[in-house]
Amino acid sequence: MKKILITIDGPAGAGKTTVSRGLADRLGYKYIDTGALYRGVALEAIARGVNYEDDEGLGKMCSALNIRLILNAKGLRLLSGENDITEHIRTPEISMMASAVSARPVVRQYLLGLQQELGRDKEAVFEGRDMGTVVFPKADAKFFLNALLEKRALRRYKEMSFKPSQSLDKVEQDLKKRDENDISRDIAPLKPAEDAVIIDSTECTVDEVIDQMLLHIKRVS
Ligand code: DC
């Protein structure tokens, strides 16, 4: 099999992370969670009091940031400068702020080169919103993973069931709001690439989704 680059886009809660990780494991590829990079920018903006509409402030902040994803013994880690911020980016507040800052061109521009650099050697599965449309338009295999909103909300809610800081209703409202932000933004909106294989995971197990993907990957590699 030749070395390929695989992209998986889709809305929050569609199962992208679990599927991307599983697929990368099956292929012996690296897995890159690009949402984590947007979350890292959001965390820094909140910490520095930069408003998500303040493009000048965001621009200045980004030019001084050193956000990166590294693989170490603990797995994929998100670093900002010398700090490992992996454990601090999964709060509801950061999710909303990540969606808000991701609509700003200055932030997308900052992260574009960084993501493309990570994909230079292929043999990678990239998860995000615009992987197949903008960041890697020439990716070898592109997937768009979707599921009904209610199912996605339930999955997210179960993920946080040991620390239920939100009700199921609130989780669903937040996902809906984030979908709207991500779909309607002017720059790199969430949408399937024309050549993406669209998979609905509402009624599928993780393994069923990965098997469908592997079938397609066999055909293109
Ligand atoms: O995948 P996630 O939920 O961790 O992503 C957080 C936010 O980051 C999401 O609401 C939109 C944004 N994002 C993006 O705009 N482009 C990407 N490639 C990945 C994430």
What digits encode the pLDDT tens for the residues 74-111? 888 999 999 999 999 999 899 999 999 999 999 999 99
Compute, in angstroms, the gap from residue 128 CA to the centroid of ligand 1: 6
Q: Tell me what the mean pLDDT of segment 12-16 comes to.
A: 93
Q: Is residue 118 part of a domain?
A: yes
User: Is residue 98 within 6 Å of ligand 1 at its C-beta?
Assistant: yes
pLDDT band at 162 (very low <50, low <70, confident <90, very high): low
User: Is residue 182 within 6 Å of ligand 1 at its C-beta?
Assistant: yes
CATH number at residue 47: 3.40.50.300
Whether 213 has a pLDDT exceeding 90, the answer reads yes
As a 3-state breakdown, the chain gives helix, strand, coil percent values, each rounded to 5, of 50, 15, 30
Q: What is the pTM of this model?
A: 0.95
Whether 191 has a pLDDT exceeding 90, the answer reads yes
What digits encode the pLDDT tens for the residues 37-78? 999 999 999 999 999 999 999 999 999 999 999 988 888 899
Nearest atom (ligand 1) to Cα of 89: 4
Structural domain including 83 reads 5-215
Q: Is residue 10 part of a domain?
A: yes
Greater pLDDT, 164 or 192: 192
Q: Tell me what the mean pLDDT of segment 185-195 comes to.
A: 95
Nearest CA to ligand 1 atom 2: 35
Q: Residue 5 and residue 135: Cα distance in Å, rounded?
A: 12
The number of folded domains in the chain is 1
pLDDT at 161: 59
What digits encode the pLDDT tens for the residues 107-159? 999 999 999 999 999 999 999 999 999 999 999 999 999 999 999 999 988 88
Q: Residue 23 and residue 32: Cα distance in Å, rounded?
A: 12
User: Is residue 129 within 6 Å of ligand 1 at its C-beta?
Assistant: yes
217 forms bridges with which residues in the sheet?
A: none
Burial class (CB in 10 A: 0-12, 13-18, 19+), 61: buried
pLDDT at 221: 87
Q: Is residue 40 part of a domain?
A: yes
pLDDT at 184: 95
User: Is residue 34 within 6 Å of ligand 1 at its C-beta?
Assistant: yes
Whether 163 has a pLDDT exceeding 70, the answer reads no
Q: Is residue 49 part of a domain?
A: yes
Give the DSSP letter string of 49-92. Answer: T--TT-HHHHHHHHHH--EEEEEETTEEEEEETTEE-GGGS-SH
User: Is residue 39 within 6 Å of ligand 1 at its C-beta?
Assistant: yes
Q: Is residue 221 part of a domain?
A: no
User: Is residue 217 within 6 Å of ligand 1 at its C-beta?
Assistant: no
Q: Is residue 150 part of a domain?
A: yes
Whether 14 has a pLDDT exceeding 90, the answer reads yes
pLDDT at 63: 96
* Strand arrangement, sheet containing 67-72: 67-72, 75-80, 83-84
